[in-house]
Amino acid sequence: MENIKNIIESLLFVADGPLSVERIKLVLETDTGEIRTALQTLAQEYENRSGGFLLRQIADGYQFCTRPEYSRWITRLIRPASFHLSKAALETLAIIAYKQPVMRSDIEHIRGVDCGGILRMLLERKIIRVLGRKEIPGRPLIYATTKQFLEIFDLKNLKDLPTPKEIEELKPDLIPDSSPELEPEPAGLSEIKPDVE
């Protein structure tokens, strides 16, 4: 396709969030390999240019982002609303991120306290979502992280989450003994029924 690089650049410029290769393919109706090559070329051009922004892979898509070294001036201009999560909210979010799909009872078992209010707040902020219901008595809700979670924490996908061992090595004197309960486990999707209510 002629001008594919420029077309993709235009799409990325007007998109309100990261664009996946699949979404670009739907718009352009062209080969995935050609799209990936154009994206890599664009990313390299912006990197070589060393301008005010660059093309990054984030949340399983691609998006223009400002360079981190200019964040001080950007913050002065737009004064974004501060985004703070309490320690309890971060603990709950970490459990969901590493154990997803996970039920509220599992989160509360690990934390040792009720987490209903925190789950509501995380749902309202669209950091987590209800994935479905587990096929056990009571059909409890199952929670997972969202695409916005990946964007907020600047992750390409969940595989980019640091392992508990990496976290422990980063600050060994601040983190208690690692718990095997935080190890990522495979999703038991066969037990999940989509929430249709």
Q: Where in the chain is the domain with CATH 1.10.10.10?
A: 4-78, 87-193
Model pLDDT, residue 177: 52
Half-sphere exposure of residue 2: CA atoms within 13 angstroms, side-chain side: 0
97-151 pLDDT tens trace: 999 999 999 999 999 999 999 999 999 999 999 999 998 898 999 999 999 898 8
Residue 140's DSSP bridge partners are none
- pLDDT attached to residue 186: 44
pLDDT in tens, 157-178: 888 888 878 878 876 555 455 4
Per-residue pLDDT, 55: 93
Cβ-proximal residues to 40 (8 Å cutoff; 6+ apart), any chain:
none
With CA atoms as reference, report the closest residue to 128 among 167, 86, 92. Answer: 92
CA atoms within 13 A on the CB side of 192: 17
Cβ contacts of 163-172, under 8 Å, gap ≥ 24:
164/98
Q: Among 13-22, 37-46, 50-59, 184-193, which stretch is predicted with the lowest mean pLDDT? A: 184-193
Q: Is the CATH number 1.10.10.10 carried by domain 87-193? A: yes
* Contact (CB, 8 A) for 94 and 175: no
What is the per-residue pLDDT for 34? Answer: 93
Whether residue 192 is predicted with pLDDT greater than 70 in this model: the reply is: no
Higher pLDDT: 188 or 122? It is: 122
Residue 146 DSSP one-character state: -
* CB-based contact 52:70 (threshold 8 Å): yes
- Structure confidence at residue 38 as a pLDDT band (50, 70, 90): very high
CB neighbours of 142 closer than 8 A, spacing ≥ 6? 101, 102, 103, 130, 131, 132, 133, 134, 192
- Whether 31 has a pLDDT exceeding 70, the answer reads yes
Is the per-residue pLDDT at 193 higher than 80? no
Q: Write out the CATH class of domain 4-78.
A: mainly alpha
Between CA 27 and CA 48 the distance in angstroms is: 28
Residue for token digits 């223009």?
Answer: 64
* 174-191: average pLDDT: 48
